[in-house]
Amino acid sequence: MSTASGSRLALLGVGTLVLLAQLSRGRRGAPRAHGSPRGGANTALAPVPPGYTREPSDFWRGEGPLARDVDAWAGRASRPEQLDEDIALYHVTTARDQVLSSRIKSRAQLRAQVGDEARSFGLGGGEDQADHVSVGVTLPGARRVAAALRHSILAAQGKLSAADAAAAVLKWTGFPRSVHNDDPLMREPDGYHRVLQVLSPEAADETTPEEAMRLQAWQWRGYAADVPDMPPCDVFGLILELEEEIFLLAHNQGYQGCYPAVRVLEPCHNIAKMDASQVAILALAAKIGARPSEVPSECELRFRPQDLVVLGEVT
């Protein structure tokens, strides 16, 4: 597998736009700092400081690039006095100990501190906003990003087989369920066929695009299990290529909301320097009144680091 495509891939943020109905409806009053938590987090966090909040709704302005998706996700109920842990501010870091012992930093700050050749200088935020920090807005999405990063690091270090890597990608992307479109006019058989070509060129030669589109989840898992082993950076490249095809298929089929793929900018030799045990999900609070930018396809907000505080690790 070639890893050349990695230079054009950026780490996507996390979550699904299922939160947007909650963020847009009936919540235009004064922001609140924190409610009683509920949801899927297993953690004990520091209290939210005065003047800060964990609620994405306090930064969702109800306009701009996310507006078109709000009504499509109507129907999620939430008691206003409670914070749903599944819909809150999170950051996935590859430097757990450093961040917990000091503070969260942008890519630009890390570069200034340790130089471009360091083990890690941040993966999220995009080059156009290197002075900002990527903040995801759902816990399930954060778990997906963390899983993708851990597997990518292990693959680059030669600690993950190609078959296990392929199976993991199918799991965290939710493929094929996540890209399904009920509208026959929006389906792209060739996209499914390209995914199959990544997993099994031999099977793709014997399968038509229409047949590939009809494959069930268990069949995709079977093809993943049969991927032959390969050198570490090729396993890392397999992850990139498989995610890229799933991302493009979702896009071409009119996928609405956050794309299911987590794509990584760094080349294999940089990823291999990272420590998988340092990948962690951090719960954040943001300064009330901050104005982050919105990244709709990534279900992500991008804050200035000085507007964020780390409350602890989510397990």
How far apart CA 244 and CA 82 sit, in angstroms, is 37
Check residue 77 and give its pLDDT. Answer: 36
How far apart CA 166 and CA 268 sit, in angstroms, is 17
How far apart CA 243 and CA 112 sit, in angstroms, is 31
How far apart CA 133 and CA 11 sit, in angstroms, is 12
Contacts of 107 (CB under 8 A, 6+ apart): 121, 122, 124, 125, 130, 131
Q: Which of 58-62, 228-232, 243-247, 259-263 has the lowest mean pLDDT?
A: 58-62
Q: Which of 22-26, 62-66, 296-300 has the lowest mean pLDDT?
A: 22-26
How far apart CA 2 and CA 67 sit, in angstroms, is 38
Extract the tokens encoding 230: 């390969």
CA distances from 306 to 133, 168, 280, 292, 294 (A): 10, 35, 20, 12, 17
- Average pLDDT of the residues in 175-199: 91
Quote the Cα angle for 254-258-260, to 5°.
90
Q: Which helix (H) or strand (E) holds 169?
A: helix 162-173
Q: Which of 27-41, 100-114, 262-276 has the lowest mean pLDDT?
A: 27-41
In 174-216, where does DSSP find H-type helix? 189-199, 201-205, 209-213
Check residue 31 and give its pLDDT. Answer: 40
Extract the tokens encoding 30: 């004064």
User: Please, what's the b/e burial string for 257-284 (b: 16 or more CB within 10 A of its CB; e: otherwise)?
Assistant: bbbbbbbbbbbbebbbebebebbbbbbb
Instruction: State the Rg of the chain over Cα.
Output: 20
Check residue 62 and give its pLDDT. Answer: 52
Amino acid at 245: E
Check residue 102 and give its pLDDT. Answer: 80
pLDDT exceeds 60 at position 76: no
What integer best gives the mean pLDDT of the chain?
A: 77
Q: Which helix (H) or strand (E) holds 20?
A: helix 20-24
Highest average pLDDT, of 68-72, 110-114, 158-162, 256-260, comes from: 158-162
